[in-house]
Amino acid sequence: MKQLITILFVFLLSSEVQAQEVIPQTYCNPLDIDYTYMVYNSARNISYRSGADPAVIEFRGEYYMFVTRSFGYWHSKDLVNWEFIKPIQWFFEGSNAPTAFNYKDSLVYFAGDPAGYGSILYTDDPKSGKWTPIASISNNIQDSELFIDDDGQAYLYWGSSNVHPIRVKELNRDDRFLETGVRKDLINLVEEKYGWERFGENNFHPTLKEGYMEGASMTKYKGKYYLQYAAPGTQFNVYGDGVYIGETPLGPFTYMKNNPMSFKPGGFTNGAGHGITMKQTNGQFWHFSTMALASNSHWERRLCMFPTYFDEEGLMHSNTDYGDYPRFGANHPTNAGQHSGWMLLSYRGKTTVSSSQMQIRKSTSTDDDYEITEIPLEKNSDGELISMVLTDESPKSFWVAEANDDKQWVEIEMFNPGKIYALQLNFHDHESGIYTRTNGLRHRFTIEVSNDGKSWITVVDRAKSYEDAPNAYITLNQPVMARYVRYKNIEVPGKNLALSEIRIFGTGLGKKPGKVTGFTVKRDEDPRDARLSWNPVKGAQGYNIRWGIAPDKLYSSWLIYEDTSLLMRCLTSDQTYYFSIEAFNENGISERTKTVER
């Protein structure tokens, strides 16, 4: 009898009986890994997780990811599922802005001593965690890139400054990576010409004018050398990676006209800088980079990955469209890394919670300058506590429950029912009291769905999970039709349950928005700046702006919610650009407008 009731309930919930759907592998930025708690501000009792400055390599058909101050590294067979490896030998304070290089599938070389000097390590078995130091001490290996060319010549690129350039020196791979004496200054920021290099959120700061150049990385493609660098600051939404192209590893290098090649200034999680470009075994390139969270500290960061390409001109570019929505996994046969088509069903959904110690919007551009807004507690007509921050598409706003136990829950009523494929749970660190890599952390919870808010069915059960997943991305085995989603807590790291966002992805049942009208673009007297505006579209959640150096090279994008104007300060002063815009909602994406030349 119980089984019959369950079958009938599933039938009602789904609204119609469907054949089993084949769900493709997907991932969602920020990446779902067990980020390490940082030591940076432990003396000030500021506790938070972070992941930044990734160095990702392929070695013997599998993948390894090295991340700043993580006290180890991650291993993957598919670039989607990652498992942490605790090394036997490592730098005492963890690695900082690490560099790694796979030399002819024989050895992995690694450097990243936080002190900026030390030995280069190597291994032929990174899975084991056993590393051997080379008997030499080098300096200037912080924020560095170790690159070994096809002829065996080794180079070290480095630099992290708002004054000094990216530099390179030659090393002798056959003689303990000793320096050969060849050093050269390569590139520096040119903020007066390249708008995206200007310091500050949205490339504006009231007092500081010099951006930071850091995170050098080198990719060789068809005989050319692509020197990548990050600017203007890790805590900003406009943190991105640019490229200079050279004929030799020592240059000279020419600025790539479609810069920045990795850029994600809008949407839920911002930033796509200080990264590395690596090649999958099937030949597909990927750019792994750093996203800004910057709530507890401006060093609070996450990781992302985007598919990367070289066009017929040899211009390098990555696809960041809908960059924090579900994307097809790296092994998808035709659309690896592309937007899956699953839209955000939960935006501005009505949210009630079990209890509330506080609801906060908190961000920082430095570790001493916080902007904090406390949101007063409200109740709905049924006397239930309301949360205004869990469906607002901001990782800097968060809710803190009164406890960390199985009596805490969150319930979201979406504006309309939809077909749910996946969820992303973004837990927040609020006075967690953890300051380093810690074993035994886990997130235990269940997730239920309902059509009427009364009858519920469990679709995710991690009640006994040992997984530590601060940005848990969960794909359902089968999609389910629902209007309500309920998170039920059991246990998470920290003193209290705290969440910044619950994101629900799938396909809506209504109409996608119409085409945008009235789209205008005006370059300012300072041509690095452009003012964009358009008419609101009925039923749109937001808009996605695309731009580039030609109508068929709209390689950059900026996603915004609700607003109908944007001041863009990231352009090159003497470059002509082409712009287009589309509207989107939970049901899909509109047709793009014709390109506007400016």
CA distance 583 to 578: 18
Using one digit for the tens of pLDDT, what is the confidence trace for 523-581? 999 999 999 999 999 999 999 999 999 999 999 999 999 999 999 999 999 999 999 99
> Do residues 269 and 304 make contact, with C-beta atoms less than 8 angstroms apart?
yes
pLDDT tier, 5 (very low <50, low <70, confident <90, very high otherwise) = very low
The tokens describing 549, both together, are: 């150096």
CA distance 55 to 66: 5
The model's pTM is: 0.95
Using one digit for the tens of pLDDT, what is the confidence trace for 162-209? 999 999 999 999 999 999 999 999 999 999 999 999 999 999 998 888
Using one digit for the tens of pLDDT, what is the confidence trace for 45-102? 999 999 999 999 999 999 999 999 999 999 999 999 999 999 998 988 889 999 999 9
Alpha carbon 49 to its chain centroid, in Å, reads: 14
| DSSP 8-state secondary structure symbol assigned to residue 313 | T
Neighbour tally for 272: CB within 10 Å: 31
Would the pLDDT of 17 be above 50?
no
85's CB contacts (< 8 A; 6+ apart) are: 72, 73, 74, 75, 126, 127, 129
Kindly state the average pLDDT of the residues 360-367.
Answer: 92
380's CB contacts (< 8 A; 6+ apart) are: 350, 352, 386
130's CB contacts (< 8 A; 6+ apart) are: 87, 88, 89, 123
CA distance 529 to 567: 7
Would the pLDDT of 247 be above 90?
yes
Using one digit for the tens of pLDDT, what is the confidence trace for 252-283? 999 999 999 999 999 999 999 999 999 999 99
Least confident of 138-152, 272-286, 339-353: 138-152
Q: Please say whether the dihedral angle defined by the alpha carbons of residues 129, 278, 468 and 340, taken in this order, is positive or negative.
A: negative
The mean predicted confidence, pLDDT, of the chain is 95
pLDDT at 4: 42
Would the pLDDT of 355 be above 70?
yes
Q: Which of 353, 386, 401, 389 is nearest to 497 (CA)?
A: 401
201 — phi, psi (to 5°)?
A: -60, 135
439's CB contacts (< 8 A; 6+ apart) are: none
Would the pLDDT of 15 be above 60?
no
pLDDT at 108: 97
> Do residues 483 and 391 make contact, with C-beta atoms less than 8 angstroms apart?
no
**422 burial class (0-12, 13-18, 19+ CB within 10 angstroms)?**
buried
> Do residues 382 and 346 make contact, with C-beta atoms less than 8 angstroms apart?
no
The tokens describing 98, both together, are: 């690490």
End-to-end distance of the chain based on CA atoms, in angstroms?
A: 68
pLDDT at 40: 85
**Count of alpha carbons within 13 angstroms of residue 312, beta-carbon side:** 2
CA distance 254 to 187: 9
Using one digit for the tens of pLDDT, what is the confidence trace for 204-233? 998 888 899 999 999 999 999 999 999 999
Identity of the residue numbered 321:
D
Identity of the residue numbered 45:
N
Would the pLDDT of 8 be above 60?
no
Strand, helix or coil at 307?
Answer: strand
> Do residues 497 and 410 make contact, with C-beta atoms less than 8 angstroms apart?
no
> Do residues 398 and 389 make contact, with C-beta atoms less than 8 angstroms apart?
yes
The tokens describing 314, both together, are: 């040899």
CA distance 360 to 371: 10
266's CB contacts (< 8 A; 6+ apart) are: 237, 557, 558, 559, 560
Q: In what order do the strands lie in the sheet with 224-231?
A: 214-221, 224-231, 240-246, 253-255
pLDDT tier, 18 (very low <50, low <70, confident <90, very high otherwise) = low
Query: Which whole-number Å values give the CA distances from 95 to 42, 99, 172, 217, 271, in the listed order?
Result: 17, 9, 23, 17, 22
